[in-house]
C-alpha cells in the first residue's frame, strides 16, 4: 500500500532498486559516436525480443513514433491511421510539422483499422491526390482503454498495405501489455510490420526511454532523424541500463497490473452514475464514463484527490485509471472506496 494511489498513468512508475543499481554501475560511452556499450546491449536485446534485425534507443514514445514516421515517408505524402490514435491526437502534430505529411484518420470501433478500411483509405495513382506513404497501427490502444489486437489482425492490415507498396509502423508503446494479456510472444505482433516502437518508461517501469526496432537499413536512416530531432544523448547508457532491467525483469509482472485493472473496472461498473465497458478492460487501463456529465467528472477527480487517489479526466465525461507496479491490490481497494463514497451522494 502507498500513501498516495496514483492512477493517472503508468508513466508515473518509479525505477526499482535494481534499476537504480544498474544505472549507477552502467558502462557508458558517447552514443552519438556509437560507443555506448549499454545502449548497444539494450538495442540488441529489444531487437531480439521483437524479432527485428536492429534497434534504436530514443528519449520517448513520441520521439520514437515521429522518427519512425518521417523515416518511412517523404514530404507531401499521407499517413493512414486510426482517428483516436496517439500519433494523431497526442503527439503535437509532429508528423505534419516536421515531416510535412498529411494525416488521414479513420474512425474505428475498437481503435484498430480493418483491412477493408485500409484498402479504402489507400490513395489511387492520381495527380490530384497525395500518395499514401505509411499506415500506422497502435497496440495496445490508449484512448480505447488498453484494448489489444492480435498478431493476425495486424498481419491482415499489413498484407493490404504491403500489396500496395506501403510500409506499416506499429506504435507499440504498451506492446508488452498486449503480449502478456494475449499470451503471445512480442515478436508475433511485430513480425508483419516494417517498424515498431515500445516504451520502457510505462508499465515496464524504467525512468526514461523507448526503442524503435526494424531492419538494419531502416534503423540507420532513423538514427540520422533522431540526431536531427535532438535525440543524440551522449552517455545515455545510464538510462539504457534501466531499460535492460525492464526487459529482463518487468515483463511478466504486467499480469498483476492487468488483474488489478480488471478488479477496479468490475468494481466501478457497479457504482451509480458510472459506466465501464468491461470488454475493453483487457490490460492496465480502465475508462470510466460519467453519466452526469462534466461537473460530476470534475467532482470525482477533485474528490478522489482529497482522498489521496489521483485520477485523470480524459474528457468532459470520462476518467482514465491506469494500474502499474506502484499500485497494488490494497491501493485498488482504496481507489474503489473513494469512488464509492463520492457516488453514494448522487
**Model pLDDT for residues 52-77, shown as the tens digit of each residue:** 999 999 999 999 999 999 999 999 99
Sign of the CA dihedral with 279 first, then 284, 285, and 291 last:
positive
210 is written with which cell numbers?
523507448
- Say if residue 234 is exposed, middle or buried (CB neighbours under 10 Å; 0-12, 13-18, 19+): middle
- Look at residue 250 and give its three-state secondary structure: coil
289 shares a domain with 200: no
Beta-bridged to residue 274, according to DSSP, are 290
Domain count for the chain, please give it. Answer: 2
Please determine, for residue 151, whether its predicted confidence score (pLDDT) is greater than 90: yes
222 shares a domain with 112: yes
262 shares a domain with 245: no
> How far apart, in Å, are the Cα atoms of 89 and each of 58, 147, 183, 322?
20, 17, 29, 19
H helix or E strand, kind and range, residue 94: helix 94-99
236 shares a domain with 294: no
Sign of the CA dihedral with 37 first, then 41, 46, and 51 last:
positive
pTM score of the predicted model:
0.96
Q: Tell me, what CATH number does 323's domain have?
A: 3.90.1150.10
Q: What is the pLDDT of residue 5?
A: 97
- Say if residue 92 is exposed, middle or buried (CB neighbours under 10 Å; 0-12, 13-18, 19+): exposed
Rounded CA gap, 41 and 50, in Å? 14
Mean of all residue pLDDT scores within the chain: 97
261 shares a domain with 145: no
Q: What is the pLDDT of residue 2?
A: 84
Phi, psi of 36 (to 5 degrees): -100, 110
Please determine, for residue 105, whether its predicted confidence score (pLDDT) is greater than 70: yes
> Which residue range is the domain that position 261 belongs to?
5-11+253-343
Q: How confident is the model at residue 1 (pLDDT cuts 50, 70, 90)?
A: low
Q: Which residue in 61, 16, 56, 274 sits closest to 174, CA to CA? A: 61
H helix or E strand, kind and range, residue 103: strand 102-106
Strands lying side by side in the sheet with 285-290: 274-275, 285-290, 318-322, 312-315
How does DSSP assign 20-88, residue by residue? HHHHHH-----GGGT--HHHHHHHHHHHHHHT-SEEEEES-HHHHHHHHHHHH--TT-EEEEETT-HHH
316 shares a domain with 169: no
Q: Which residue in 101, 89, 102, 42 sits closest to 62, CA to CA? A: 89
Give the tens place of pLDDT for each residue, 19-48.
999 999 999 999 999 999 999 999 999 999
165 shares a domain with 26: yes
Q: Tell me, what CATH number does 189's domain have?
A: 3.40.640.10
Provide mean pLDDT across the span 83-94. Answer: 97
Out of 227, 249, 271, pick the residue that ends a domain. 249
Please determine, for residue 9, whether its predicted confidence score (pLDDT) is greater than 90: yes
173 shares a domain with 195: yes
Rounded CA gap, 333 and 319, in Å? 17
Rounded CA gap, 134 and 165, in Å? 9
Rounded CA gap, 124 and 130, in Å? 9
Give the tens place of pLDDT for each residue, 209-235.
999 999 999 999 999 999 999 999 999
156 shares a domain with 94: yes
Please determine, for residue 205, whether its predicted confidence score (pLDDT) is greater than 90: yes
231 shares a domain with 88: yes
Rounded CA gap, 7 and 286, in Å? 10
Give the tens place of pLDDT for each residue, 257-312.
999 999 999 999 999 999 999 999 999 999 999 999 999 999 999 999 999 999 99
Rounded to the nearest angstrom, the gap between the alpha carbon of residue 168 and the centroid of all alpha carbons in its chain is: 16
Rounded CA gap, 245 and 22, in Å? 8
130 shares a domain with 77: yes
227 shares a domain with 91: yes
Out of 249, 270, 302, pick the residue that ends a domain. 249
Out of 231, 249, 267, pick the residue that ends a domain. 249
Q: How confident is the model at residue 135 (pLDDT cuts 50, 70, 90)?
A: very high
Q: Which residue in 249, 284, 262 sits closest to 177, CA to CA? A: 284
Amino acid at each position: 500500500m502507498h500513501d498516495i494511489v496514483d492512477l493517472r498513468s503508468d508513466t508515473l512508475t518509479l525505477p526499482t532498486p535494481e534499476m537504480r543499481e544498474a544505472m549507477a554501475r552502467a558502462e557508458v560511452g558517447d552514443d552519438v559516436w556509437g560507443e555506448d556499450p549499454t545502449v548497444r546491449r539494450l538495442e540488441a536485446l529489444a531487437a531480439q525480443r521483437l524479432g527485428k534485425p536492429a534497434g534504436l534507443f530514443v528519449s520517448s514514445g513520441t520521439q520514437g513514433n515521429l522518427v519512425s514516421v518521417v523515416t518511412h515517408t517523404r514530404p507531401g505524402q499521407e499517413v493512414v491511421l486510426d482517428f483516436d490514435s496517439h500519433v494523431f491526437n497526442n503527439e503535437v502534430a509532429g508528423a505534419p510539422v516536421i515531416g510535412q505529411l498529411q494525416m488521414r484518420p479513420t474512425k474505428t470501433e475498437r481503435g484498430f483499422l480493418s483491412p477493408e478500411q485500409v484498402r479504402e483509405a489507400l490513395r489511387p495513382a492520381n495527380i490530384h491526390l497525395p500518395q499514401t506513404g505509411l499506415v500506422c497501427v497502435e497496440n495496445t490502444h490508449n484512448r480505447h482503454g488498453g484494448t489489444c489486437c492480435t498478431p493476425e489482425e495486424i498481419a491482415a492490415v499489413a498484407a493490404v498495405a504491403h500489396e500496395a507498396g506501403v510500409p506499416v509502423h506499429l506504435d507499440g508503446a504498451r506492446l508488452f501489455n498486449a503480449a502478456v494479456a494475449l499470451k503471445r510472444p512480442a515478436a508475433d505482433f511485430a513480425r508483419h510490420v516494417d517498424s515498431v516502437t515500445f516504451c520502457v518508461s510505462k508499465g515496464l517501469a524504467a525512468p526514461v526511454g523507448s526503442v524503435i526496432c526494424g531492419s538494419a537499413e531502416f534503423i540507420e536512416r532513423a538514427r540520422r532523424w533522431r540526431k536531427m530531432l535532438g535525440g543524440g544523448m551522449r552517455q545515455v547508457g545510464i538510462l539504457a541500463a534501466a531499460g535492460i532491467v525492464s526487459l529482463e525483469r518487468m515483463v511478466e509482472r504486467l499480469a498483476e497490473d492487468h488483474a488489478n485493472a480488471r478488479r477496479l473496472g468490475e468494481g466501478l461498473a457497479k457504482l451509480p452514475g458510472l459506466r465501464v465497458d468491461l470488454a475493453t478492460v483487457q490490460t492496465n487501463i480502465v475508462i470510466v464514463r460519467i453519466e452526469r456529465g462534466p461537473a460530476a467528472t470534475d467532482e470525482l477527480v477533485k474528490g478522489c484527490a482529497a482522498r489521496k487517489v489521483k485520477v485523470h479526466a480524459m474528457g468532459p465525461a470520462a476518467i482514465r485509471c491506469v494500474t502499474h507496479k506502484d499500485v497494488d491490490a490494497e491501493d485498488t481497494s482504496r481507489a474503489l472506496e473513494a469512488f464509492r463514497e463520492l457516488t453514494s451522494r448522487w
